[in-house]
Structure 1
Amino acid sequence: MARRISVAQRRSDFINAAVEVIATHGIDGATTRRIAEQAQANLAMLHYCYDSKDDLFADVYAFVSGRFRDVVKAIDPRSDLRDTACQLLRGVMECYLESASFTAATIELISWARRQHGGRGIAVYDQALETVRDVLREASSDDPVEAETIDQIAYVIASLADGFAVNWFTYGDRDAAARHMDITASVLDSWLAVRLGCAPVAP
């Protein structure tokens, strides 16, 4: 007797399949038929789980955001501002390195949202930056720093993470990307040492 798969599990399957299809074919090529085939399900099941393609893509956005929230949750709450910033950057880079498809789909989703919906693409990025700023503010609560400093740290983290993602996406060399993670992390640490007036951490 075949095991019955729950709707929740099927939705998870379709979300993961959509990430793979978006990474390979882009948003425009991510048809419901391709997504269903990638999930090894029939098209009727996809339409049973989702009323529309937009509903599915909304869950894909939520999935991507959730991955980044997981990075935030993994940060040691006892960390100071500098260590928190370094953990954020490394966590995001590890999230990208874990899956080339996730990296490609994330870049495509933000680019597509910016092209098609303007403000929505900006809002997705703004939300991610605000999450980073919130974590940095919390980490500096015992030794507060200026809001401008928090903004600068968040910007540098985002710029370094984005640069890493584009490089990994472009070349697809996992060994090189792993080495680049250490280089990128050292760039942030050196910049923080200057900005916060402390000695850089020895490699």
Structure 2
Amino acid sequence: MTERMLIESVMPRADALIAVHTMVAAEPAATYRAARDLDFLTVRTPLLTAAMWLRGLPGRVRGNSAAPPARLQLDDMAAMPGWLLVGERPGAEIVFGAVGRFWRPVIDWLQVGPDEFATFDEPGWGKIAANFSVTPYGEQYTLLSYQCRTVTTDPDSRRRFRRYWWLIRPFVGHIMRASVATIKADAESGGSPAAQTPVVDAVTPAGRFGR
């Protein structure tokens, strides 16, 4: 992709950036539909299940944990505290994000609107911007990418986030790889099995902070 991505416009600077890529044996349109329709609650691995259980433990101890929703697709983001759909280039890229103090044991989310997200800079918060994007890859494949960027709004929040990121980064990469594997399987099951594509993914860059 040579044009500027939507996620770059929404969050041109990042304190942390991680991306995962995989080849899909399906057309870009089918791959995009699979990404757009992904139910995040169907992404399951033993490590992910354990990590989510531990992440929700402080809320359960306090007795204020909420029951999980029946499904969680991109169109359901508005029902999740802090999360929202930020923007979309139909058929090519969709961006979703959240504002919160996610380094705390119980996350403090802040609801903002799509028009406020890019310019929000109130001190004491962090912003997550994530996207799914698809690009034709030769004649038979699609390159599916999942990118996640995080930026903080003041030096103290940045210090807190960096300590949190050092701990959580391996789990974030694992979740992202599991998500693209689920999208890949969904996209390929709806098309012709033209090829047995290998699982080819990359996490980039390795724990970089700042730009």
TM-score normalised by L of structure 2: 0.30
Higher relative contact order (CA 8 A, sep 6+): 2
Higher helix share: 1
